[in-house]
Chain A
Amino acid sequence: MRVRVQAEPFDFGAECGAFAAGRRDAGAVVTFAGIVRDDGGLARMELEHYPGMTEKALERIAAEAMRRWSLVDCLVIHRHGPLMPGETIMMVATAAPHRADAFAAAEFLMDYLKSRAPFWKKEFGADGAAWVAAKDADEQALDRWSED
């Protein structure tokens, strides 16, 4: 299990290849990349975070995924700082003996880090700058993982 928080770009393909390479214990690897989307007029994005808490929150979410599913490994990389449209913001990768666990754990990681890891997006466009508002749907997405 590994978590990285960094300003620098990363090579999604290389990370996926390295994550999957040499595994004999996992029959399934699932990867996801989040990309800066330009819905029209986005010049750039700034991703603010809370150094210290960010790493702790991501490590806790990753550990929870390892606990809930039979994963042999998982990886979370999340960038902060300035980002341009088309750049990769973050990725998750999961490895499991079978694909159902790998897919479910990857979705769980995405749902949780969207609203439980301390990142805030600010978009800059022709009309000025605005903080991205959290979506109710993102919060509701967590309900499906409730263990109650």
Chain B
Amino acid sequence: MIDVLYFAWLRERIGLPKERVQTSAATVADLVEELKAREERYAVAFADLAAVRVALDQELAEFDAPLAGVREVAFFPPMTGG
């Protein structure tokens, strides 16, 4: 089981901030494909991955990063702090 978090417009499009996901995905990209296949709202949210960033256990990562040992995956748009 892995905790998956969504922020900003990803949270709004998917309709929840956090869920526990049972997955055997090897990489972030595999997890995204699993989620997209689930329901239309995920497919919409992840339609343009160039607009999505990912963090693994609160560290920025790439979509080809492995999920082995990861407890928390977060998806969000490019950051706009400051």
> 9 pairs across A/B with beta carbons < 8 Å?
A47-B81, A49-B81, A90-B82, A115-B78, A115-B80, A117-B82, A119-B81, A120-B8, A133-B80
- Range for the number of chain B residues in contact with chain A: 10 to 19
Stretch of A19-27, A50-58, A64-72, A97-105 lying at the B interface? A50-58
**In this assembly, does A116 line the interface, its C-beta being within 8 Å of a C-beta of chain B?**
yes
Query: Residues on A close to B: CB < 8 A?
Result: 34, 47-50, 52-53, 56, 78, 89-90, 110, 113-122, 131-134, 139
Write the nearest CB–CB distance from A118 to chain B, whole angstroms. Answer: 6
Structural contact, A50 and B80, CB atoms closer than 8 A: no
Structural contact, B79 and A114, CB atoms closer than 8 A: yes
Residues of A within 8 A of B58 (CB): 50, 52-53, 56
Structural contact, A117 and B79, CB atoms closer than 8 A: yes
Residues of A within 8 A of B80 (CB): 114-115, 119-121, 131-134
